[in-house]
A and B are shown apart, each in its own frame.
Chain A
Amino acid sequence: MTGTFVGMPAFPAAARDALADTQLRHNLAHATATIRGKRAAVVGEVEHWEALRLAGAAVKERALHGLEDHLVRLEESLVARGAQVHWARDAAEANALVADVARRHGADEVVKVKSMATQEIGLNEALAAEGIAAWETDLAEMIVQLGDDLPSHILVPAIHRNRAEIREIFLRRMADVGRPAPADLTDEPAVLAAAAREHLREKFLRAKVGVSGANFAVADTGTLVVVESEGNGRMCLTLPEVLVTVVGIEKVVPTWAELDPLLRLLPRSSTGERMNPYTSTWTGVTPDDGPQEVHVVLLDNGRTRALADEVGRQALRCIRCSACLNVCPVYERVGGHAYGSVYPGPIGAILNPLLHGIGEGTGDPQSRSQVESLPYASSLCGACFEVCPVRIDIPEVLVHLRSKVVDAHRGDRVPKPEALAMRAAAHTLADAKRLGRAERLAGRVGRLVGRRGTTPRLPGPGAGWTDARDLPTPARESFRGWWRRTGGRLDGGENDG
């Protein structure tokens, strides 16, 4: 794995490679089972969890409804408190704004709070191209960055790594970019954490510019909120002279009071904690306290496109808790990289196509097919919807996006074999007489080819089934054939398949 998602293959191919990595599957099965158990236990303690979910979903719905007004209000509040507000339509605009701030302060490095928005826009790579080093200070993000790797989980970006691998990365890379790891480093979690702390402290104390995202932005008060577990975020938000915060426009909530259900739902759903360890809030500039120059970049990057999708827009409620990843049986087996984006798992399978757009002719053919493969990267088992704290009906959105993929190809000069097969099947299944004829034919073929009641290996797409699974042969007499012959009389002549 190298440090970019660009040029990733479509999901089935990426998944095949990941499935072959037994260490990865072992790491993931262990880690997701642990987080699942913790989450289930603390969610079980809340008497009215379902009511809390409904409240959280309602807050985010209200925020999205009339988003424009809330954003204008947010801008007014922020400016009134001394912050500078910028609007970015896409990744390039957002990256240029951050780079500009760093350049004006002569900074050749920035310290970063873990942020999905800055991952999404590829900020670190963009700053590197300008000669500015962006240091990730979240422990897991630092592991990913030092390993020249990609994050594979929203909350635990290095979930695919184990302790031994982390020790090796620290020993190999820390010295290149700052304070080296101690020579007697072991793979004890406390020892690894201590080495990371020493390495990072040097950067916190030196950096002039901090960069963050925000979990929430309160329109009425102009307050930004970062929720984190390690305290590194608070260091980045308070020590540098200049702070730049990149916020997706869907992060706005209208009022301070509306944070209440969200701050109760998030820690239990994400880390399985009752209360969040470090919740930092800041409102513009406070004289002589914290950063004296505060910039806020309000990022669109496909969000208004997602908002325009009546079924899909509910994905913008997402508070990035990652509960859906931890319960997803597909994610557990293939890991995050197979999704080809910073948003993996079930939420990634809907968010990426919504942000990029399906069938809108954007991007090269490979990235188009990668995006179009994501709505199919699910068995629709519904475990994700069950745990989602803001009740995003991910299976519903997946099916909706699949229909958009199909519709985008209806005008293709050469239809896909799948489309032809589906049309043929629908034609047969739309009429009982046609179906009866097809079943009689299948029964005869089944008698010819099937031994021991199973179908031999099939060619073409059917091989996807028969390569690893037996398939029963079609019954000699279908249920419909039996009913027609006997009138459904159960005495004698019963068909047992």
Chain B
Amino acid sequence: MVTCINDALFPGTGASVVRLLRRLGVDAEFPEAQTCCGQPMVNTGYLDEAVPLVRNYVDAFETYDAVVTPSGSCAGSVRHQHGMVARRAGDPGLERAVTGTSARVHELSEFLVDVLGVTDVGAYFPHRVTYHPTCHSLRMLGVGDRPRQLLEAVRGLRLTELPNAEECCGFGGTFAVKNSDTSVAMGADKARHVRSTGAEVLVAGDSSCLMHIGGLLSRQRSGVRVMHLADVLAATEDAP
């Protein structure tokens, strides 16, 4: 599953996932019928509006062994919110289908470490990096230190500790617009902590959080780049 934000704004991250998985011998496909998991609607309270998206999601991924997504947030939404949407729709068939897809969806680091059993994916990334564990990866999915294990195995990469790493960056979907002042205050503190590490690159497993923190770092002309974990793991000496 390529998230809607990756699809429209960061297509390179989707390509990185494909490149990485194929390098590891996985037959990766992009079912073109997929669109969005529906989380933006669910988290803003528009549950009825999310029903067709959930239906479309289960239809698109019905026949696959595993669904891999470069987003803790979207994987979390599929696992923890699709059931709620299906129940509200009063559709037992959809509920059964949702249970099926929920069990097969994996956030990228979960898939690499738990399903493929690899931590060294053969990546090369000669930069100083700091890592932000996004809230939904951390708390909704419990990915733990899997992303760190993957980063620590990347050749050339120097990982520096991010102060207050587990604190939310303030994105929160429509929270970033509905409560933009608070969102920016939280993001500004996160950006300050990122800058204090002296890292060249901030890495995380969710493009939406990176878009928010990166938007602040860019406005501050900080010179710090943000990159998705998939982009770092896809980089090699041959294809940096």
Q: Determine which of B42, B168, B183 lies in contact with A383 in the assembled complex, contact meaning CB atoms within 8 Å.
A: B168
Q: Is B56 an interface residue when CB atoms closer than 8 A count as contact?
A: yes
Residues on B with beta carbons closer than 8 Å to the beta carbon of A464: 176-178, 180
Could you tell me if A468 and B7 are in contact, using CB atoms closer than 8 angstroms?
Answer: no
Interface residues of B in 28-77 (CB under 8 A from A): 28-30, 32-36, 38, 40-47, 49-50, 52-53, 56, 60
Could you tell me if B40 and A425 are in contact, using CB atoms closer than 8 angstroms?
Answer: yes
Q: Is B159 an interface residue when CB atoms closer than 8 A count as contact?
A: no
Q: Determine which of B10, B38, B50, B184 lies in contact with A468 in the assembled complex, contact meaning CB atoms within 8 Å.
A: B184
> C-beta contact mask, A425-453 vs B, less than 8 Å → 1, else 0?
11001111001000100100000000000
Could you tell me if B7 and A469 are in contact, using CB atoms closer than 8 angstroms?
Answer: no
Q: Is B113 an interface residue when CB atoms closer than 8 A count as contact?
A: no
Residues on A with beta carbons closer than 8 Å to the beta carbon of B41: 422, 425-426
Question: Complex formed: what's the CA distance from A475 to B211 in Å?
Answer: 14
Q: Interface size on A (CB < 8 Å)?
A: 69
On whether A497 and B10 interact (CB within 8 A), knowing A333-B182, A334-B182, the answer reads yes
Interface residues of B in 154-181 (CB under 8 A from A): 166-168, 170-181
Question: Complex formed: what's the CA distance from A380 to B73 in Å?
Answer: 11
Q: Is B89 an interface residue when CB atoms closer than 8 A count as contact?
A: no
Q: Is A156 an interface residue when CB atoms closer than 8 A count as contact?
A: no
Residues on A with beta carbons closer than 8 Å to the beta carbon of B60: 432
On whether A379 and B7 interact (CB within 8 A), knowing A330-B182, A465-B177, A490-B19, the answer reads no
Q: Is A402 an interface residue when CB atoms closer than 8 A count as contact?
A: yes
Q: Is A195 an interface residue when CB atoms closer than 8 A count as contact?
A: no
Residues on A with beta carbons closer than 8 Å to the beta carbon of B181: 12, 15-16, 19
On whether A429 and B4 interact (CB within 8 A), knowing A472-B10, A475-B11, A496-B15, the answer reads yes
Could you tell me if B2 and A432 are in contact, using CB atoms closer than 8 angstroms?
Answer: no
A428 to chain B, nearest CB (A): 8
On whether A474 and B8 interact (CB within 8 A), knowing A333-B182, A469-B215, the answer reads yes
A residues neighboring B (CB under 8 Å): 11-12, 15-16, 19, 25, 329-330, 333-334, 375-383, 385-386, 399, 401-407, 418-419, 422-423, 425-426, 429-432, 435, 439, 442, 454, 461-462, 464-465, 467-472, 474-475, 477-484, 488, 490, 494-497
In the complex, 9 of the A-B residue pairs with CB atoms within 8 angstroms, ordered by the A residue number, are A16-B181, A399-B42, A422-B44, A426-B53, A430-B52, A432-B35, A472-B10, A481-B11, A490-B18
Across the A-B interface, the 5 shortest Cβ-Cβ residue pairs: A379-B172, A402-B45, A469-B215, A381-B168, A464-B180
